[in-house]
Structure 1
Amino acid sequence: MQLELLKEKYGHNLDETLLKEIAEAGIIKTFEKDDIIIDINQTLKYIPLLLSGHVKVLREDDEGNELLIYVLEAGETCTMTLTCCMGTNKSKIRAVAEKDSTLLMIPVEKMSDWFHNNESWRNFILESYQMRFDEMLETIDNIAFMKMDERLLKYLKNKAGLHDSNTINVIHQEIAEDLHTSRVVVSRLLKQLENSKKIKLSRNKIEILDL
């Protein structure tokens, strides 16, 4: 079962020999929505491969405020975790289950071996770095150049895309935390977006009309 899931989610990137090694070395772990998978300053002993669900990757400032960096989907890994594994072994991010999720946890010592000995793993890691780097640049651009209402609408559209639905279940406080702003600001901007016919609000639900 573990090998079949790996083939389904990672078979287009990784060769079959490596998939078998990963299945043998990995440990399946399941997390419910909002569970913390990896926390800041946690010692990293495993590399996560996401088999199902979504995982939010967040940074935290000195006052405990969080900022959403990117969201992992099934078939991906967290390159911020990989970077930490190659350095201090202490996590610089917090990974939280966006929805119920299943991960395969790979011992960190395997990463270096496969990187040097398996071309498909090496290419997968380098492509993952490039994807995450582009997403972090986009996050920086959003903060630096977009107005908060534009950031909010883009966030809602991205979230809708992740869930393959134009209706998302989310509370205002969660949006505020992800965008590193206040709930009052989020509520005001959501109302503005509703008045401009871009979204429709209901209790803990938002329908995106302007996809």
Structure 2
Amino acid sequence: MIQDLKENYGHIFEQDLLNEINKVAIIKEIPEGTKLMEIGDYIKSMPLLVSGVIKVLREDDNGDELLLYFLENGDTCAMTLNCCMTHTKSEIRAIAETDSKLIMVPIQNMEEWMAKYSSWRNFVLQSYNNRMNELLETLDSIAFLNMDQRLLKYLGDKARVTKSMIIRSTHQEIAYELHTSRVVVSRLLKKLENMGKIVLNRNHIKILDLGL
């Protein structure tokens, strides 16, 4: 674990903190599609993402989902931090977008390190700031972009975090995450294909040029 910590967090945390994390944390490897956190769960540990991509979603009263943001290696989840620090139930769902590896930090150590290590405190505050900016970006896209622009942004974000021009999501899955209907997504994807921006295949979407 110490090697994973040094490679992903060595530029953030001092050696003493890395050693403490190594003593109390556990490694968790989760395959693509695994639900890491569910709405209503109590959170007992905070994830530090070592590899892979985690998507974080919100659910409305009708059970429809909205994608809030992606987590990449070196990230943690502000929503998780808040639940840990306030001992409240989770209001988000977290699912592995790709095979992922996480270092799970117990909640009791998090609180101790806030006072003991300035690097940990700064990391937590910066994580809150980063996730807040991403939430505002999501809000802006809903408020100010039409659906074809939101779909373009979604495909671009997904390609960026997965580092792949192949998007392995069904039209229904994309519709869930954009909080719209499959019919709308299928129509807009076909439009993008006719414009030469993507190629639609049975099990995946190949990005050619989104022009973002």
Band the TM-score falls in, shorter-chain normalisation: over 0.9
Q: For residues 53-107 of structure 1, give each alpha carbon's deviation from its aligned partner in whole angstroms, at most 9, with x where no partner exists.
A: 1101111111111111000001110111101112243111111000111111111
Q: TM-score, normalised by structure 2?
A: 0.96
Specify the alignment match of 2:96 in structure 1.
97
Unaligned runs of 5+ in 2: none
| Shift of residue 184, structure 1, vs aligned partner | 1.2
Q: Which amino acid aligns with 1:40?
A: I
Q: For residues 22-78 of structure 1, give each alpha carbon's deviation from its aligned partner in whole angstroms, at most 9, with x where no partner exists.
A: 111101111111111011110111111111111011111111111110000011101
Counterparts of residues 31-70 of structure 1 (less than 5 Å): 31-70=30-69
Moved over 6 A (4+): none
On the 8 A contact 2:166/2:206 being kept in 1, the answer is yes
Provide the alpha-carbon RMSD of the alignment: 1.1
Query: Secondary structure of 1:99's match?
Result: coil
Residue 130 (1) aligns with residue 129 (2): yes
Counterparts of residues 1-211 of structure 1 (less than 5 Å): 2-211=1-210
| Shift of residue 209, structure 1, vs aligned partner | 2.0
Q: For residues 168-205 of structure 1, give each alpha carbon's deviation from its aligned partner in whole angstroms, at most 9, with x where no partner exists.
A: 22211111111111111111110011112221111222
Cα distance in 1 between the residues matched to 2:79 and 2:66: 14
Query: Secondary structure of 2:47's match?
Result: strand
Cα distance in 2 between the residues matched to 1:34 and 1:65: 18
Q: TM-score, normalised by structure 1?
A: 0.96
